[in-house]
Structure 1
């Protein structure tokens, strides 16, 4: 998380049930971290040149901006009720939801949002706003989805990349704050490529390969226990596709953490294929953590 003094947890709201889940999750996270919570709503109507005031004959407070303000006020009240004593503020900001949240991210400790908002296509398991914010935000992004569990481990995917190292640090901090185990998962299928154009061998020693991948897993979590006293660490090595291994390992988890991109990802993809897949498949909240620039 952004370690800047005063950095708040920011949650985006739009009045949808998914956003209300995000408010609860954000409030609990902010309370655990001793941070303030900032509730924001992206108010897009001025960009569309829509009339913002109430229609003639409408009761007071019926205008679009008044409705947006009321939506934020209600979310603030819910956060305060869920976590008494939490410092909560709210603001309506002109702009699209994704642009507003990405704009908040450089000074935020964490961005939290629901997996689907109002107006989403029913066939999409995760809305476009969640995917865009996870891809472009300048801080970790937490998407409220799946089951809300009070127990179960924090699960993190590791592959030796800088992004997975940042994810492991975030996940270790979350596991200690929640008082649960950290389950580190490393998935592999074939011998890793050592560089561009490198050809994978057609024949290789399976036992030697597994030993190599075990070392990748051990190296990825080395030092975490020292930096996070009290951390309980589980290691899982799986020979299968990373997204499938992670969603299975997180079947009983209260949080799944992945890096924004990892080894083997196309450099043009801001949100890696594994992160994209688990955002759609995981049955628990998912945090996407990018490596520091």
Structure 2
């Protein structure tokens, strides 16, 4: 059965991080009045798996049975936090990235669990998460347990990075939508890399006018946000222009946020290149949930 555009889709792999993502998505599905689809994609079996005796049919049955157990555990996690949500469970016989990319064609949002981390030892993402964030047809949410507790934060602002590119336009659309249904303020951030620009001006034997650049950055931010406040009059917006690396500015704010939204360039066949360094950094290190929106993705919004 194909998922409808109303579904939030969660990748289920049996990890504690995936169950955290399931609970986060279940609450979101209940609040947005959307369907929830729990998907387990089986790993590809090696040709010469040891101790099988060549009985691949039995091995595939075991893999399928394990997948069903993981999906039932995820269904139970949904019932704990959102008993009115009745999720669909789906077992896909393919690689996780491949299966979830197919799901993204019609999903409202793909939700993935990522490992918990401490501020002193933040971990990098796996290749499947990078591939989905770079190439999914809908927004992708990356959820990890918060440092101080098992569940991600549910208060604080929504943060969005704005850099003037088409990718940040998609992020702005998603961020306003997320802030609206959450009843949360929105902080729109544009950071300009003063050290990098100073080096360029020095090479060109010119003096950098930091005040003029900051004014230009403020104008860019105002221009990119123009019109969105009219569409979302319920969302209180704070505009923030900062000097420094964009990734660091966003990460500093993410520590007190309930959600961080960034864009993905979506132009390259290589996941890392399609995402860009800022998106990769916040995906890997932010302590709050991160939503990645790439060109053409749809905000999850409320169900009609």
Provide TM-score, normalisation by structure 2. Answer: 0.81
Find the counterpart in structure 1 of residue 300 from structure 2. Answer: none
Corresponding position of 1:11: 10
Aligned to 1:26: 25
In 2: Cα distance, 1:112 partner to 1:156 partner: 18
Alignment of 1:110-121 (within 5 A): 110-116=109-115
Give 1:202 deviation, angstroms: 3.1
| Bigger mean CA deviation after superposition, 204-213 or 182-191 | 182-191
| Inter-partner Cα distance in structure 2 for 1:259 and 1:184 | 13
Q: Residues of 2 paired with 1:123 and 1:188: CA distance?
A: 24
SS at match of 2:275: coil
Q: Structure 2: give runs of 5+ residues left out of the alignment.
A: 50-55, 147-151, 198-202, 298-304
SS at 1:77's partner residue?
Answer: helix
- C-alpha separation between the residues in 1 aligned to 2:260 and 2:232? 18
C-alpha change, 1:219 and 1:201, in structure 2 (3 Å) is farther
Which residue is equivalent to 1:59? none
Give the superposed CA RMSD: 2.9
Residues 1:219 and 2:223 aligned together: yes
1:64-75 equivalences under 5 Å are: 64-75=63-74
User: Which of 264, 272, 283 is the aligned partner of 1:260?
Assistant: 264
Q: Distance in 2 between matches of 1:279 and 1:267?
A: 13
| Per-residue deviation, residues 153-188 of structure 1 (Å, max 9, x unmatched) | 010000111111111111111111111100111011
User: Would you say 1:285 and 2:278 are equivalent positions?
Assistant: no
Equivalent pairs, count: 272
Match of 2:235 in 1: 231
CA distance 1:52–1:246, change in 2 (3 Å): farther
Partner of 2:279: 275
Report the counterpart of residue 58 of structure 1 in structure 2. none
In the alignment, what sits opposite 1:53? 58
Q: Match of 2:66, SS?
A: helix
Whether 1:140 aligns to 2:139 is yes
Q: Structure 1, residues 72-108: CA drift from partner, whole Å, max 9, x if none?
A: 1221222133112123100110111111111111111
Question: 1:228–1:24: structure 2 CA closer, same or farther, 3 Å change rule?
Answer: same
CA change 1:35–1:191 in 2 (3 A) is: same
Deviation larger for 19-28 or 74-83: 74-83
- Aligned residues of 1:261 and 1:275 also touching (Cα < 8 A): no
Query: CA separation of 1:110/1:201 partners in 2, compared to 1, >3 Å: closer, same or farther?
Result: farther
CA-CA distance at 1:215 after TM superposition: 0.4
Higher relative contact order by CA 8 Å / sep ≥ 6: 1 or 2? 2
Q: Which ranges of structure 1 fall in alignment gaps of 5 or more residues?
A: 56-61, 194-198
When normalised by structure 1's length, the TM-score is 0.84
